[in-house]
Chain A
Amino acid sequence: MASFQNHIVQAKRNLSFLVSINSSHNEYWDWQVTVTFYVNVHVINAHLAQAADLHCRTHEDVKNAINPYNNSSLVRIP
C-alpha cells in the first residue's frame, strides 16, 4: 500500500511529464487532461494516507472519503 511519500513522488513524476508534454505538444490534450487527473489523484491520496491512514482501492472510495456530505468521514472536504 502506497504511503504519503509514495503518492507525492508519483504526483511529482506525473507533473514533470505534464510539463514536458505541455512544452512540446498541444495536439494530445486528451492525454494531458488524463495526466492532470492522475496528478490530482495522487495528491488527494497522499492527503488521505497522511490525514487518516486511508488507502483507497477505487476512485469511488476516494470520492466518498472527501465528499463534504459524508458525515462519517473525518477527511471530508469542509
Chain B
Amino acid sequence: MSHTNDLTSVDLPIQIQSDMMDQWFSSMIDHLRTDHFMLETNIASREKKEFYQAILENDSDKILTQMRRDSSQFFIKAIVFDYLSELKAANKNPIKLALGLSDSKILVWSEIKDDDEEMEDLLLITEAKINGKYHDKGFYINSTIIEASDKMPIPPHYQTIID
C-alpha cells in the first residue's frame, strides 16, 4: 500500500485539501483491494504477507519494523536514482564509481583522474544537492573521492557501478 499524496500542506484552499483527501482515500482503498486479491490468490510477496500477518496478530513491533525497512528501501532507492541521474545529466563520469550502504548512509566511492578538479567539484556538488533534498528524511550520501595515482582498490563492501 503506498501513500503518495502530500496531505500536510496547510496553505491550500479547504476544497482542494478535501479533494486531495478524497483522492488519497480512494487510492488507499484501491490498494487494499489489490492487496486483498493478491493475498487470496497467494501471489502476494513474502513481505506483503508478513505485513498483513503482523496486522492480523496486532504485532505493532513487527509492523513498525517492517514499515521502517520499507521506508529505508524507498529512500535509498530514490537517493541512488537521483544521484546517478544528476551525474548522467552532467554528462561526465568518474573513472570508477561504487556504492555501499552503512545504516542511513549511502557511501559513494569515486576514482577520478589526477588533478581533475572539474570532476571532483561535480561529485561534491551532486552529493550536496542530494543531501539537501534527503538529509531531513534521515538519509544522506557520504563520498570518498580518490585519484588514479592513489592506486586504491574499491573496498569489497561496495557495489561497482562504473569500472
Q: Give A contacts to B, CB under 8 Å.
A: 60, 63-64, 67-72
Contacts and interface: CB of A to CB of B under 8 A. Distances in A.
A64 B140 CA distance: 9
B140 A69 contact: no
A16 to B, nearest CB: 29
Question: Interface residues of A: mostly helix, strand, loop or mixed?
Answer: loop
Interface in B42-69: none
B128 interface: yes
B132 A69 contact: yes
A60 B129 contact: no
A60 B133 contact: no
A71 B127 CA distance: 15
B128 A68 contact: yes
Q: Which 6 A-B pairs have the closest CB atoms?
A: A69-B132, A70-B132, A64-B135, A69-B129, A69-B128, A67-B128
B142 interface: yes
Contacts of A72: 136
B72 interface: no
A40 to B, nearest CB: 15
A73 to B, nearest CB: 9
A71 B132 contact: yes
Contacts of B133: 69
A70 B132 CA distance: 4
Nearest to A64: B135
Contacts of A69: 128-129, 131-133
